[in-house]
Amino acid sequence: MKRAEAQLKAARALVALGTLGVLLWCPDAPALNPSLDVSQYAHTAWTHRNGFMHGAVNAIAQTPDGYLWLGTQSGVVRFDGVRAVPLPLRPGQQLPSTSVVALLAARDGTLWIGTLDGLVSWKNGQLTAYPALARRTVLALVEDRVGTVWAGGLAGPTGTLCAIRGESTTCYGDDGSLGTVVASLYEDIDGSIWVGAATGLWQWTPGPPTRHLATPISTAWRG
């Protein structure tokens, strides 16, 4: 568990660096409205008194019904703007790990839940597990324009990237090409899937995977 937590911290660092790279790459990214004073922005904070007693929030997603879902150190919480309640699991159902680090609200209303120990999806009260990702830490999720769900993370000593298409799951990275972790995923306006891995920035689709930017960050994942 300590090793997984250390890898998670390292992955967060890679995500932060990747975000910085995107901001530097996109000079037209919108900023705060300069005509407004700071006091004109509304700010509300919720604490454990509002039901937030599940540890740190690692991920946030909003499903089409308007609910916010929070991935925490102790599971998934549904927030309606007033109350926070745990994910209503049926008797006998449980997450692969209570530590949730990635969430995805798919267009069909399915909530995908990435944990330190596997991937599941939840819809209409039914929890579905994905055996191909059992024992894998899922750090990033994205749904592409054709409905394929991509999951990135790590499987033991190697980074992993999996594509879930209906009942079929295909995983990549066992050859070590992605280094020790896949920390971020993104679909651009053209429909290309970009993968932020320990070995650099990859354009995974369309066409064969191509590495566009190598990074020395990969050395941080050794050991």
Residue 190 to residue 203: CA distance in whole angstroms: 12
Q: Tens digit of pLDDT for each residue in 115-152?
A: 999 999 999 999 999 999 999 999 999 999 999 999 99
Q: Find the mean pLDDT for residues 101-107.
A: 96
Assess whether pLDDT exceeds 80 at residue 17. Answer: no
Q: Whole-number mean pLDDT of the chain?
A: 82
Query: What domain range is 115 assigned to?
Result: 2-24+56-218
Residue 61 to residue 59: CA distance in whole angstroms: 7
Q: How many structural domains comprise the chain?
A: 1
Long-range contacts of 122-126 (CB under 8 A, 24+ apart): 122/76, 122/87, 125/88, 125/90, 126/90
38 domain-assigned: no
CB 196 within 8 Å of CB 183: yes
69 domain-assigned: yes
CATH number of the structural domain spanning residue 191: 2.130.10.10
Instruction: Tell me phi and psi for residue 123, to 5 degrees.
Output: -155, 135
77 domain-assigned: yes
30 domain-assigned: no
Q: Tens digit of pLDDT for each residue in 202-217?
A: 999 998 999 987 764 4
Which residue, 204, 153, 150, is CA-closest to 12?
Answer: 153
- Token duo for residue 149: 């769900």
**Cα torsion through 33, 39, 45, 49, rounded to 10:** -160
Q: Find the mean pLDDT for residues 166-181.
A: 94
Residue 209 to residue 150: CA distance in whole angstroms: 14
100 domain-assigned: yes
